[in-house]
Amino acid sequence: MLGDLKLKDILIMGIESSCDETSIAVVKNGREVLSNIINSQIKIHEEYGGVVPEIASRCHTEVINLIMKQALKEAKVSLDNIDAIAVTQGPGLVGALLVGVSYAKGLSYVTNKPLVAVNHIEGHIAGNYLTHKDLEPPFICLIISGGHTHLVNVKSYNDFEILGKTKDDAIGEAFDKVARVVGLGYPGGPKVDNLAKEGESNINLPITHFDNLDFSFSGIKTAVINLNHKNPNINKADLCASFQTAVTEMLTNNVRKAVKIYNSNKIVIAGGVSRNSFIRKSFDDLAKELKIKVYYPEPILCTDNAAMIAGAGYYNFINGERADLKLNAIPNLKIGE
């Protein structure tokens, strides 16, 4: 593995502020988490039923310096020990991203440490390297989160090929909207997962099929909304279970096809929605069917966090990638850019 080529331990400080988590971490050699401090704003945004960008940006600004100090303290290192500073450049909310990017550039300037830009989606992939020390590319990775649904052929630590992506809503967005409609509130993913355990998947919902490996969740989401409006007394647990089954079938169908096309022996799941218990069980079953291995990040590394950014930053750093102080946030940054 690339890390074996290093002459010394490399410590990367990761900074993540793409949405509503302010996080700073210290990671050694792209695999060992020394600290991973996460300040979540969920309680603040619950009142509004979703993330309010202006509030998120303000909260990042208020806590980021304190989070940095906590990350160094927990890792038992100083800024002098850090080899490079990795920061999420995008995608995400532009104001929130700018807080992290500006802070990282300031740290880089005053410490004279190299600055490394990281794609948030690639960070989610790297979260699995922190959980599974023996995991190496190539593999097929499914990234499922509040803002993204991507099926990616991970050829190497720095080489990504998008095989498919959502045509409309991200899967996490669909979970949140369904949760709001049935009265569960925000964040929707865990609440739909929990309620679905009390119901039966006995409601037929439309599944969109493509000739390629793309996804679409708007039809399923709209069907749930319409059923709930037409019959307010419909069993909410059954509705959630049926929704969850339908979207998971779409995920497993495309991953099954990708594994066969690319003759892969590894499936990697990443992103916030990868915590969903039904989705994990379904991919465990798929892995047994295909006689291959499946990997998930540990729960704390599913959500937005800086350890995954530091992990991805490590591979960018040893690959010679550097950013300068002109680095800017790119809210619609694509994977591989």
- Enumerate domains of the chain plus CATH numbers: 2-128+301-318 (3.30.420.40), 138-297 (3.30.420.40)
- The b-or-e profile of 87-98 (16+ CB within 10 A means b, else e) is bbbbbbbbbbbb
The two three-digit tokens of residue 297, written as one number? 């990040």
19 has pLDDT over 90: no
Q: What is the pLDDT of residue 93?
A: 94
The yes-or-no verdict on residue 2 having pLDDT over 70 is no
Q: Angle of helix 120-131 relative to helix 306-318, nearest 10 degrees?
A: 100
> Edge-to-edge strands of the sheet including 21-28?
32-40, 21-28, 11-16, 84-90, 115-119
Q: Does residue 6 carry a pLDDT above 90?
A: no
Average the pLDDT over 55-62 and give the result: 90
pTM (2 d.p.): 0.92
Average pLDDT, the chain: 94
C-alpha triplet 331, 335, 337: angle, nearest 5°: 80
Question: Is 49 a residue whose pLDDT tops 50?
Answer: yes
Indicate if the pLDDT at residue 325 is higher than 50: yes
Q: Report the range of poorest mean pLDDT among 78-87, 105-114, 171-180.
A: 171-180
pLDDT band at 329 (very low <50, low <70, confident <90, very high): very high
Percent with pLDDT over 70 in the chain: 98
